[in-house]
Chain A
Amino acid sequence: MIQVEEIYKSFGSNDVLKGITADFKPGKNNLIIGSSGSGKTTLLKCIVGLHEPTSGEVLYDKENFTSMHFEGRVPIRKQIGMLFQNSALFDSMTVEENIIFPLNLFTEMSRGEKLDRANFCLERVNLAGKNHLYPSELSGGMKKRVGIARAISMQPKYLFVDEPNSGLDPMTSILIDDLISEITQDFQTTTVIVTHDMNSVMGIGDHILFLHNGEKWWEGSNHQIAHTDNKELNAFVFASKFMQAAREKL
């Protein structure tokens, strides 16, 4: 489990996060939602250690990650997989090399074992046989799937996903959401997803954290979100006429 306690983050005089406290449980899709500039990605980066919080703590299974130095964080980081908004695949490496890169650095697996693991991960994301393609030869959806394959190659305990649906068509978005959800269930990972895609919220949001102006504004599940009377959350979720009409039918 990941616990976030009283996280504040400022960039100069700009207070982006204002005392966020939340728990992210294993085996659940934990979604962080909110409008642009609400602090979603900043919170995610504070959790994974790409940003240092101004104050507050992040705990991974009760271990205080925030107070650790670089070397101390390495054992926890080996248990983290992350899918970035633009996939962040290494351009100079093939799909296969991208997936076995962390295995090369952190395991003593033989070449054959690493290739088996890469093939398993590629099959898991429905990209079997694409081992020797370069990122520049892949579509946006394929890049996301390779990003997921790389993220799960070390069998992570914690999976972080930043805007998994950005730049994807609705069909591919649903495929990616389902894939993340399946991986969360199968490997019992603590999955934290930053999104503002309402299909994802309604489809896979086991636990949802709504941020508004850097504060935790609402917390609940996708079943509860349709019936909330939180004004700002309703304005965000039911912004379109289609969603308003859908809500009336619920």
Chain B
Amino acid sequence: MFYSLGRYILLLRLSFRKPEKYSVYWAEIMREMVSQGIGSLGIVAIISVFIGAVATIQTAFQLVSDFIPKTVVGGITRDSTILEFSPTITALVLAGRIGSSIASQIGTMRVTEQIDALEIMGVNAPGYLISPKVITGVTMIPLLVIVSVALGLGGGYLACAASKDVSTADYVAGLSDGFNPVIVTVCAVKAIVFGFIITSICAYQGFYTKGGALEVGQSATKGVVFSCIMILFADLVISELLL
């Protein structure tokens, strides 16, 4: 475990060496942003709307009574969506979508000697392959989480409109009741940390792939599993520290 941790840290250090040419790295970052960001928008939108709607319906089911104001549903949906559902569930889904793609892409490059070809040319292979992905991860995943929060709260609105347990006016009023801005900070910190975890761990797994097609698949699986575990662990640590 310590061997892997040391190798992971050394790989990250190599990844953030001075680039050979900034323009080439910039083009790679833009390409990754389209792939990771735009490419993930659909799945993030679908899960966010459904999670927001389900959270609203379940909260309404448990809390709506004559003794509790109906606006509470909006407040609880808002807090749970911003604090937990959007950053964590989005990150877990993205670990599957982006993480497996990164690990298998870099792993395939390793077993087909494309990484060796980069090194022979004098290119810093970890820098060229990993740093654009990590930079993209820590910028695009927070943006996807913002979209997820908006769509999650929108999903809650649609659920209210459809179920009639809570009126949409009460839901909207509840969204702004007792709003504590610290939850947005926690959400942003989580999204950035999760973005780093997904991209760096999966890139590490891919970069040290040995063997052939079977091992590429195993690297992708390992990358996703370790990312998910680390996301949940980081979720706990950040919540404990910031709330």
Interface residues of A (CB under 8 A from B): 48-50, 70, 73-75, 77-78, 80, 82, 84-86, 88-91, 101-102, 104-106, 154, 160
- With an 8 A cutoff between CB atoms, is B38 at the interface? no
Binding-face segment, B45-53, B84-92, B117-125, B227-235 = B117-125
Beta-carbon contacts under 8 Å, B106-155 to A: 108-109, 112-114, 116-117, 119-124
State whether B21 touches A104 (Cβ < 8 A). Answer: yes
Min C-beta distance of B7 to chain A, whole Å = 16
* B21 / chain A contacts, CB cutoff of 8 Å: 104-106
Instruction: Please give me the residue from chain B that is nearest to A101 by CB atom.
Output: B121
Q: By the criterion CB–CB under 8 Å, are B20 and A106 in contact?
A: yes
Known: A86-B113, A88-B113, A91-B114. A80 touches B20 (CB 8 A): no
B24 within 8 Å of A (CB atoms): yes
Q: Are B116 and A84 in contact (CB under 8 A)?
A: yes
Residue ranges of B at the interface with A (Cβ–Cβ < 8 Å): 20-21, 24, 108-109, 112-114, 116-117, 119-124
Known: A104-B21, A105-B21. A77 touches B116 (CB 8 A): no
Q: Known: A105-B20, A106-B20. Contact between A77 and B122, CB under 8 A? A: yes
> When chains A and B are docked, how far (Å) is the Cα of A88 from the Cα of B108?
11
- Nearest 8 interchain pairs by C-beta: A77-B122, A88-B113, A88-B117, A74-B122, A84-B113, A82-B120, A105-B20, A102-B121
Q: How far is the CA of A77 from the CA of B120 in the complex (A)?
A: 6
Residue in contact with B122 in the complex, picked from A50, A73, A86, A160, CB distance below 8 Å: A73
B109 neighbours in A (Cβ, 8 Å): 90
Residue of A74, A90, A104 near B114 (CB, 8 A) is A90
- Which chain A residues lie closer than 8 Å to B120 at the CB level? 48-50, 77, 80, 82, 160
Chain A residues whose CB sits within 8 angstroms of the CB of B122 once the complex forms = 73-75, 77-78, 80, 106
Shortest Cβ distance from B17 into A: residue:
A70
Contacts of A80 in B (CB 8 A): 120-122
Cα distance A160–B21 in the bound complex, in angstroms = 25
Known: A74-B122, A105-B21, A105-B121. 18 other contacts (CB 8 A): A49-B119, A50-B116, A75-B122, A77-B122, A78-B121, A78-B122, A80-B122, A86-B112, A86-B113, A88-B114, A88-B116, A88-B117, A89-B114, A90-B114, A105-B24, A106-B21, A154-B121, A160-B120
Residue of A nearest to B14 (CB): A70
A77 touches B121 (CB 8 A): yes
- Nearest A-chain residue to B117, judged by Cβ: A88
Contacts of B121 in A (CB 8 A): 77-78, 80, 101-102, 105-106, 154
Separation in Å of the A163 CB from the closest CB of chain B? 11
- Among residues of A, the one whose C-beta sits closest to the C-beta of B122 is A77
Contacts of B117 in A (CB 8 A): 82, 84, 88, 90
A75 cross-chain contacts in B, Cβ below 8 A: 122
Query: Residues of A contacting B24 with CB < 8 Å?
Result: 104-105
Whether A88 lies near B123 (C-beta < 8 A) is no
Partner of B112, one of A48, A88, A106, A160: A88
- Tell me, rounded to whole Å, the shortest Cβ–Cβ distance linking B32 to chain A: 12
